[in-house]
Structure 1
Amino acid sequence: MASPDQKTFFASRRWTSHDGQAKITLICLEDTLRTDADESTLKSHNCGLGEFFRIINGKIEKTNFIKTEVFENVAYVPNLRVKLERINGTPFFVSALLPKAMCRDLNLPNGNYTVTMNSLLAPEQLPLGELVHFEATNVRSLDAPNLNDFPLIDLAIHKNLGDLIGELPAVPVLPAPFGGAKSRPVSRASTAASGDDELVKGVGFQKKKYPNKKPKNNQGVVGKGFPVKKEENQEKKPIVGAGFEVPKKEGNVIVGEGFVANVKSQVLRGVVLSITENPKNGVNTHFLWILDRQAEGRFVTKEYKLAPGHFFEGTFTQSPNQKWNCEKYGKQVPKPAAIDGGLDYEGKIWFTVLINQFEPAGGNRRFAQATARYFGNVVEGELDGTKLTSSCNGKKVKIQRRGVGEKDYVWMVLEILPTQA
């Protein structure tokens, strides 16, 4: 086994402990041992999520030699050259730079590929007992190229690919501050930093105060979640914005070329998960959870600024791609009695809910799960204290919206709350 000075660690995932402390999961590239460290400790050594480092004489020394990208709380290694092998029929990828990674396509032939790698929520076991801590996505074959699959590549992208597939770059690739060479869009369940704007706040689970300067073309309206502040009388200004022209409507029918689709509006209840403010045009984009449909939605407006945790009733429509949008804000509604919640230190919203109908992991279900009223499926968390069992039926848990993989979002257990006597 390699000595500590010979080990290289990858800061692969961020998670929050039950007491609100930010943790980073570290994976050793030499022996694939998995450990957790306080994010504050890594930051004190100018190291963060998505970076590689060694511990030399008690000090952390960054050794970033692979390009990484950070999305939400997960670090990804893109465009990595690998080879697909099998053990007793189970496919997995082997890389010269990172440990083995699970292959999800059981029919993929052995050969050479490029993939994107990221760490798993929990390690998985190969047939001979070896634990695997990574999985691969964006799989692309290198053995049978098809000219139609290769569009023209500009010089900058070509250079990056050359660095990864050919010789390693002479100069280490240093990610941007706070992990990763790139940062992708912020979580849909996190609160974006506001500018110097304030409309009228909608109090959900309040975390921060907004300055008193008001942007142009905005009208203050709704309050801070619980309760709503009274509206201030302001002169309404036209809503101005560039983009595609909204199709003309005849009744509830959108008229245009091709098919004619009926768009039915519904009055539903929703809660604000987060808000993104655009100080340039005064547009506030609210990311919602629709309680009556157990689905995500959006509310884009210049008139309202609703804080995370604000429960309201509005008029919603569903687009052909099954996306829900709030077309009109109605009124604030009381928080359902079975739900409570708040914001963590990062401004991300969480809820406490009662769960039932436990289902163990197995088959196509990677994680044990249960159901909660208004929220639907709730999956178990990464830590031992967040694993679900049949004894959890009828218990309250603390949940938060979390990204799984590259595009999927789930309600994940952060803490199983003790039963009150």
Structure 2
Amino acid sequence: MTAFSTIDMGEVTRLTRAGQLSEAMALLQGRPVPSTPTGPHAAAGTIDMVAPTMSGGAWTAPATDRTSADGAASTAKTAFARPGLAETIQTLRERFPKMGAMPDLGQGIGSARGATVAVPEGARFEERSFGNEAGSRAYKVYVPSGYRGQALPVVVMLHGCTQNPDDFAAGTRMNALAEEQTFLVAYPGQPQSANMQKCWNWFNAGDQQRGRGEPSLIAGIALEVVKEFSADSSRVYAAGLSAGGAAAAIMAATYPDVFAAVGVHSGLPCGAASDMPSAFAAMNGGGTFKASQNGPGVPTIVFHGDADKTVKPVNGEQVIALAMPGVSLARTATQGTTEGGMGFTRTVRTDASGRAMLEHWALHGAGHAWSGGSSDGTYTDPRGPDASREMVRFFMTHANRSS
């Protein structure tokens, strides 16, 4: 019998599920369990925008129980994956990288599940680095096989918490679209040194301003890709999930001359928070922001699950409100259901020429995950509309006249 076998792993798992990771860590290391602070901001110290699962793979979509009533009725029950021992320890390892040796359970404990990104013949998926006064960030860039030096569009993809460029590329399948439609994709990576959960720091006042912090780094990466590959500077776009979605909204607000359109998936509006307490309030739907009417807004497409318990869906509506231009737009709404069984409501606001300037996709029954994504990456829901394809379709109708 090892010392590890005397630990109450049931209690460790319970604490981990409850988000009491410091207490779970103490149990694993044989230390006294610290008392847990109470109150609405008891978890202060990190903004955790990870979807409600501790699985090492993709986010677990709501299970569906189908009951027959004349062969026509079906109901859905939301049920998230419960972690096993391996997943519990993996969660703690990701939160506490210095936790020390743990038993080998034969399931890759000690290293996060690595996503494999296929690169077709003639294409490239390479790592770069960009730095300025705000620091530096590594990023990966996908160059499609059809690139011959022509001025291509650029899509900047901003991953969510705990993710990385490879994981996000695998989950969103944006590289496959880039190969199909011939455009460049850049994936900035947020290091753990900048945020313990690898979240973009959308809630810091210093990371919501032009020429400062993370916005300057993300814009710098976009412009560096334009320069290196002689890309079309009028067709640069940004999209992100969760904290990355919030960062994409910030890029629209701070660099409208760089980004011709943005996509915000399960994110928040720029200015929704300025510190940690207000960030928790914003994620729970109580954020405040000031909509600017200083000229036309940046065209924006939003995807948000109406069952998202991590970032409440009202945030998606607020992103659209912030992007509203100072001119009147026509509004149409349609409903549908995907082959995977997910219902959605798509609301489109068009200008006088009939071009979509704003789109809001409300995903019925969906949680905090990339809609229509691949289970090869984390936090995806393959049942939903293909958010990547819809975002690219929306992006390619817009060019930035100021570039």
Same fold at TM > 0.5: no
Of structures 1 and 2, the one with the larger relative CO (CA 8 A, separation 6+) is 2
TM-score range, shorter chain: under 0.3
Greater strand proportion: 1
The structure with the largest alpha-carbon Rg is 1
TM-score normalised over the length of structure 1: 0.25
TM-score normalised over the length of structure 2: 0.26
